[in-house]
Structure formats: structure tokens, C-alpha cells
Amino acid sequence: MRRVIAGDWGTSRLRVTVIEDGVPVARHEGTGIAFLPGSAADALRAILDDLDLHQPPDAILLCGMVGSRNGWLEVPYTPCPVARELWRAQSGRTSLDGVPVTIAAGAAFDGDDLADVMRGEETQIFGALVIDPRLKSGRHRLVLPGTHSKWATVEDGRIVAIRTFVTGELFELIRSHSTLLRVGDAISRDDENAGFDAGLQRADAGLPLASLFTARVAQLRQARSSDWAAGYTSGLLIGSEVREALTLEATGECTLIGAPTLTRRYAQALARRDVASAQLDGDACGLAGLQLLDGRDDG
Amino acid sequence: MRRVIAGDWGTSRLRVTVIEDGVPVARHEGTGIAFLPGSAADALRAILDDLDLHQPPDAILLCGMVGSRNGWLEVPYTPCPVARELWRAQSGRTSLDGVPVTIAAGAAFDGDDLADVMRGEETQIFGALVIDPRLKSGRHRLVLPGTHSKWATVEDGRIVAIRTFVTGELFELIRSHSTLLRVGDAISRDDENAGFDAGLQRADAGLPLASLFTARVAQLRQARSSDWAAGYTSGLLIGSEVREALTLEATGECTLIGAPTLTRRYAQALARRDVASAQLDGDACGLAGLQLLDGRDDG
């Protein structure tokens, strides 16, 4: 039996999966790279102890900010176009108590005025190409919503363009720190969905900055709840992201990769602009991608 | 001699001016409405003690969030079109230890899909009409940049439309809490101006959400400083605000009201879009406006 530890180690969260002969058998959540009390190696060692594996794993496979300059080992970004074999070859190597550790390379797009990067999402993208092999040929638009939402163009299996929207981060900043949502009292879940629809609709005008204050005014003047305002803000930001991304490059179909609660909202925003979408689970894509890094030297 | 206390009392700051026969003779800064330890009356009483006036003032004139439901006395918003006399008539009255206190009404725009409000800026606007009487006739666009930037359309001396952009608040949220600006080290002041110019230029594309992440990538991939990134973010947000405001209503000239360091940046953004602008000092406009509330019952 071959047992590997696969970890998506981002800024704010670590998700570890134990995989035995390709089958996930256990999961564990840990602390993100930005919040570690000590070294990444110590944090991972503690998690391995918790998992009580009886014997060391055969390999540890990691992606995400663990490969940044503030992570465990800085692994350079692979410039677009990023082919799978090039990306595998450029992953970083280290070890933990004798166990080989592979850390995925990020991907960089330096091709035009809007340079861009990703770390972790490239692994999910290559995993998506394993899960849905139709994505391996032709030109496809893959969207990975989140704190930093990534739009990638994949052509014949290579990542050729990257565009980041800080939609999730903006929403969290507004929710946690702004006066826009703190006017009324929370009421109902339905209200939030109605707000989301209203925000999506407002996004059509292409005036996102002129439309944010509506979240506050709707509570002051139109008896909306703060739930509605939060939904409105989310709908406005997601709808505006989708609008801008499609302005940058039109597309008839997208593949959404992420948590189903979030990809459903993006699917709704895309449908509003007549773009069809398929949804793939982000964790499953991440695991498939990390396993591509296993036995790098063999292949 | 008639002595009045004029105060612009916002969410985060109170600016008090002592005015004797129309001439400002002393200034004092105090705590904003959102951060008071006790009542607004107690806070003002303490400031009057500090000012050591020997005898009570003849009147206290206030504007801003002091008139909101979380302020001293809730004064309703006057709906657009807001004429000066109507606005004066709708101001709130209370007293402090026998001294009459007048609190300015806010202004509300309920006229279309994008409802909007202001509290405090209406006072600066009516003050601007005193300082520059040419603004009293015809149609004018007045812009009051700040945490919540207000664009007002004034027609024959009445406020007929209001549009708020949360530009200053967004910038502060990003500067204080986001990962976008915290990559490199601060370098130079020049760098920030270069970043501002680059951000203004980027705003032309009308893709603000697609362009924010550049602040981070420019540090990671293009050796830009965090100062440059802060300037870029400011230029992108201000440029995008100006672009959206002019999309909503085209105009050939604007009057900017505010602190000179900020109105200069807006003037630059407007000039880039071939809109001429005049600049008025925000404090002077506020004082002129508050004095319109003095002796309300006489007029």
C-alpha cells in the first residue's frame, strides 16, 4: 500500500487528506500559513502525530501559499503557458523526518498589461483535467471562486491566461469592517437570497462602485434587513466580477471549481449572462491535482 | 457681539469652530459620534469647558451624523429637490444648558432605482453657494470626496440628485486589512504618485474589480513598492468613481469641495476625462453653511 499525505495549505487554512492507494481515508484541518505559531514543518509534524498513522507516509504533497516566500519553501511561479509536465518538473522538493515533501509551483501570467499569479489553484486546475478529461483538449474557461477568485483559460491542457478578482476578500472586508451592512437587524435567510438577486441585477449596469452604497440606503430608506444588504453586496460583487471577466474574454461556457454553495451562486451569475456552466468540487480537484505530484521523479 | 459654536460632527470626527460676528476665532477637534463614551450633550459640554468662553455662546449649530438616529437628535432627511429655505425649516431644535442648538437636516434622493442620502454634505453645499454665488443659478455638479464621496447635482440653488461612492472607505479597508498592499516595503513618496497615475490610467478600461489584484502582483512580479501599490489602488478607485459618475450623468465642469490634498487628486482624475474643475475648501463651505442655520426663527 502506498500512503501519501495531500495538503492544500493556503494563507488562512490547511486541509490535509490521507490517501491510501489513491483513496482518501482521513481528513484533518489545520492552521493557515499566515497564522502559524512556529515553522510549517513543526505544524505538519504535529498533524501527522494527531493522525496516528503508526508508520510514516510514503510522501507528502502540498500546494498553495506553503510554496510562497512566507511559506515553507519558496517555489517559483511557472510562467504561462503552463503545461502539466513543466509544472510538475518545477515543483519544489524538501523532506520532513526522512519523508519526501513535494510543493507545487505556482503559475504566473506576465503576458500583458494585467499580470497575474496563482498558487494552489493551478493544482486544482490540473486535477480538474484528470476528473473531466474533455477539458484536456480545446480552449476552456475555468473559474475558481474564493477569497481571490481565479479565472483561468486552458488551451489543450495548458494554462494560458490567469485573471484574479478579489471578490471574496472585498466582501469579507465590507462584512467585517464597513458601515454599509450595519444599519438594521438580521431578519431572514430568504431576505439574503432576494438581496443576492437584486445585487446581480444591479451589476448589469456596469457601475459597481456607484452601487455599493445602496446596501446602506436600502436599510435606511427602504426597510431592507442587513441580511438583504449582505446578499445584495455579494450579488453585486459576484455579478460585477462575472461581467468584467466576460468583457475581458467572452465565453459560452465555464467550468466552476469550488465549494458547491459558492459555485452555485457563480452559476446563477453566469446564467444571467447566458453562459452555461458545469460545477466540479474543489476539494476533489485539489486531491486529483496533488496526486499528479506523487512520484514526480518516476514520470 | 454674537458668538456661535459651529460643529461638523461626523461618524469619526467632530470639528468645532467658535465664530464671533461671522469670523472664525478658535477651532477644536473632538470625538466622532460613533466613538463617544457618553452622550453627545456631555461631549459638547466638555468641549465648551475646554474652550473657556467665559460666557455661554448665543447658539450652537451642528451638522452631520449628530442628526442621525445614533446621534443627538434624529432629524429627518429632506427629500430632493432640497431648497435652502426648506432645509433650514426642517432642521432640528434642542438646547444645551439653555443655549439653543440647531441640527441640520440631511438630504435624501429617492427619485430612481439608486436611492441615496447625505448628512453634513448638504450643509457644505449650501455654504458653497454662499461662497461662490454663481453656483446658485443653472445646473451644477458638486463633488465632495471623502470616506463616502458625494456627487450632488444642484439646479437653481436646489439639490436635485445625490450619488454616493464609498471610495475612501474601500481604500481604507484595503489599506488596513487586505493582503493587496502588504507585500513589499515602503520606499518613496514619488513612487506613490507614480502608482496613482498608473491606477488612474487603468481606470479608463472600466474594469475596476479585474484591476485591484494588480496592486499585489506589481509587487510580486514587477518590483513595485507598497507605496506604489497604495497609490495605484487610490488612483484606480478614484478614477473608477469619476468614470462611473460621469457615465451616470455627463458634465463639462465640476466644483470640488473638500481638503485640498484630496480635491487635487479628483481634479487630476476629472481632467483626464476632459472635465474642468474648481476647488473650494471643505471647512470654509461647512462654516458658511452652518451659519445659514443661525437665527432660523428670524428668517
The answer to whether A180 contacts B163, with C-beta atoms less than 8 Å apart, is no
Q: Which residue does chain B place closest to A167, by CA atoms?
A: B209
List CB contacts (< 8 A) between A169 and chain B. Answer: 178-180
Nearest to residue A192, comparing CAs of A235, A243, A149, A222? A235
Q: Hey, are the CB atoms on A221 and B117 less than 8 Å from each other?
A: yes
CA distance, residue B101 to nearest chain A CA (Å): 25
Inter-chain residue contact A166 with B173, CB threshold 8 Å: no
Question: Cell for B289?
Answer: 453653511
Mutation to test the B interface, candidates A110, A169, A209, A212, most B Cβ within 10 Å: A209
**How far does A248 lie from chain B, in Å, by closest CA?**
9
Under the banding of pLDDT at 50, 70 and 90, the label for residue A160 is very high
| Grid cell for residue A4 | 501519501
Q: Which of A212, A221, A222 sits opposite B166 (nearest CB)?
A: A212
Is pLDDT of A74 > 50? Answer: yes
Provide residues of A within 8 Å CB-CB of chain B.
Answer: 11, 77, 108, 110, 114-117, 148, 163-167, 169-170, 173-174, 176-180, 206-214, 217-218, 220-222, 237, 240-241, 244-245, 247-248
Instruction: For residue A151, list its beta bridge partners.
Output: A143, A163
- CA A263 to chain B, closest CA, distance in angstroms equals 19
Rounded distance, CA B266 to CA B239, Å?
A: 8
The three-class DSSP label of residue A93 is strand
Say whether pLDDT at B129 is over 80.
yes
Helix orientation angle between A226-248 and A260-272, rounded to the nearest 10 degrees: 60
Name the percent of chain A lying above pLDDT 90.
88
Give yes or no for a cis peptide into B100 (omega within 30° of 0): no
Show residues of chain B in contact with A153, CB under 8 Å: none
| Residues in chain B closer than 8 A to A166 (CB atoms) | 178, 180, 209, 212-213
A57-71, A118-132, A173-187, A239-253: segment of lowest average pLDDT: A173-187
* Reported confidence tier of residue A21, pLDDT bands at 50, 70, 90: very high
Between B115, B163, B206, which is nearest A222 by CB? B115
A93-105 tens-digit pLDDT = 999 999 999 999 9
How far B90 CA lies from chain A's nearest CA (Å)?
Answer: 18
Q: Which helix (H) or strand (E) holds A62?
A: strand A59-63
What percent of chain A has a predicted confidence (pLDDT) above 70? 96
- pLDDT bin (cut points 50, 70, 90) of residue A113 is confident
Mean pLDDT of the region B28-51? 94
Instruction: Report the mean per-residue pLDDT for chain B.
Output: 94
**Phi, psi (degrees; rounded to nearest 5) at B96:** -130, 110
CB pairs under 8 A between A and B: 113
pLDDT by residue (tens digit) across A175-227? 999 989 877 555 555 699 999 999 999 999 999 999 999 999 999 888 889 99
pLDDT value, residue A223: 86
Per-residue pLDDT at B299: 38
Interface test with B, best of A12, A165, A179, A207 (most B CBs within 10 A): A207
Q: How confident is the model at residue A29 (pLDDT cuts 50, 70, 90)?
A: very high
Q: How far is B221 from chain A (nearest CA, A)?
A: 8
- Work out the minimum CA distance from A103 to partner chain B, whole angstroms: 19
Q: Rounded to whole angstroms, what are the CA distances from B103 to A77, B17, B31, B257? A: 58, 15, 17, 21
Torsion A50-A51-A56-A58 (CA) sign: negative
User: What residues of A are in contact with residue B247 (Cβ under 8 Å)?
Assistant: 206-207
Is 90 exceeded by the pLDDT of residue B179?
Answer: no
A178 and B167: CB-CB below 8 Å?
Answer: no
The C-alpha of B214 sits at a distance from chain A's nearest C-alpha, in angstroms, of: 7
Q: How far apart are CA B167 and CA B262, in angstroms?
A: 12
Q: Out of A115, A240, A248, name the one closest to residue B217 (CB).
A: A115
CB pair distance less than 8 Å for A214 and B163: no
pLDDT at A299 over 50: no
Beta strand A23-31 pairing with B158-165: unpaired
Predicted pLDDT at B182: 77
Q: What confidence tier does B276 reach under pLDDT thresholds 50, 70, 90?
A: very high
Residue of A115, A166, A174 with shortest CB distance to B212 = A166
Record the pTM. Answer: 0.94
Q: Give the ipTM.
A: 0.93
Nearest CB neighbour to A148, from listed B165, B211, B213: B213
AA letter at B243: R
